[in-house]
Chain A
């Protein structure tokens, strides 16, 4: 998985690319480190570049959400591909995350 973080003033945009799965660990830890610098912000995860996600990857998003909430920030997931959206649907992730297509 690769990621890019861009702050446009109104929101922090995190673009994810590749696969967010059990092999994405180090990359995601680096991302969490960067996001810890943002407080009371709206963080948008741009997921159109994400080809796959598994439940380990989804678990990482839950950890990110919890960490960001401690700093007063909120998280949303936008533009997931069909297969990624299907996985989010099956796991009822919409009950926890704001998901926009």
Chain B
């Protein structure tokens, strides 16, 4: 993924690229219109010939398509739903425009696939100079953020259920029920990764839930034996800096390489 691996410019400003959605099948008129409205190019077929500056693979979300989109020559993968790119966050295209890597999946797909493993492998492959310790901390934080985005963000399930075996069974039932709701299941989980100068990497994890007050959550410290509620505190310990955007729907984590 040349665009992600490229060395930042000397003044550390990202080099702007033009996103191009690459799809396998002939795109519909609707999809073409959506891309025009978003100011992104659209291309059908493989990547023979002159490659776009920031190609993003689009299609059905499978392990193979996600892995392909997160590897060279692509800058990311976006799962296309029945409504094309509608619902995909603008941050995804802004990230690849700035030389980063993006992933946008519907909730059921993020749950079904080994999303963490796929993204962690892609970060290791595409961003150079990351120490093993930082890679471990990134994976730990990403796992927490992903879990929060799916369970509490998009599915709106409270964490207090998971304190006993009985509560855990109830939690599972609720999770399946919410996952069967097409509106909730179709909400997106998005991961955007971008170099921040030569020394830092930013990972933003977004959901489409109700959001939350990050400061209030961080003020709460879970007891050592607590069975839930330690995710955000863990992220805070593992990151160089942490902040929320979009009313808590996006968690922006920064790591020193």
Contact = CB atoms under 8 A, between A and B. Distances in A.
A21 B116 contact: yes
Contact of B147 (A29, A55, A62, A86): A55
Contact of A22 (B140, B147, B227): B147
A63 to B, nearest CB: 6
Interface in B120-167: 132-133, 136-137, 139-140, 143-144, 146-147, 150-151, 162-165
Contacts, number: 86
Contacts of B225: 62, 95-96
Contacts of B169: 29
B151 A55 contact: no
Interface string B19-50: 00000000000000000000000000000000
Contacts of B168: 25, 29, 60, 63
Contact of B227 (A23, A26, A29, A59): A59
Contact of B150 (A22, A59, A83, A92): A22
Interface residues of B, number: 35
Given A21-B116, A82-B136, A52 B143 contact: yes
B4 interface: no
A59 B162 contact: yes
Interface in A1-54: 19, 21-23, 25-26, 29, 32, 51-54
A90 B140 contact: yes
A82 B224 CA distance: 21
Contacts of A95: 224-225
Nearest to B113: A23
Contact of A91 (B164, B171, B234): B234
A25 B175 contact: yes
B145 to A, nearest CB: 9
Given A55-B144, A90-B237, A67 B151 contact: no
A99 interface: no
A55 B230 contact: yes
Contacts of A32: 165
Contacts of A25: 168, 171-172, 175
A54 B172 contact: no
A25 B176 CA distance: 11
A50 to B, nearest CB: 12
Contacts of B133: 86
A19 B147 contact: no
Contacts of A78: none
B162 A56 contact: yes
Given A29-B169, A52-B117, A55-B228, A86 B234 contact: no
Q: Which 5 A-B pairs have the closest CB atoms?
A: A54-B143, A59-B227, A83-B136, A22-B147, A55-B231
Interface of A: 19, 21-23, 25-26, 29, 32, 51-56, 58-60, 62-63, 66-67, 82-83, 86-87, 90-92, 95-96
8 contacts: A55-B234, A58-B230, A63-B165, A82-B136, A83-B136, A91-B230, A96-B224, A96-B225
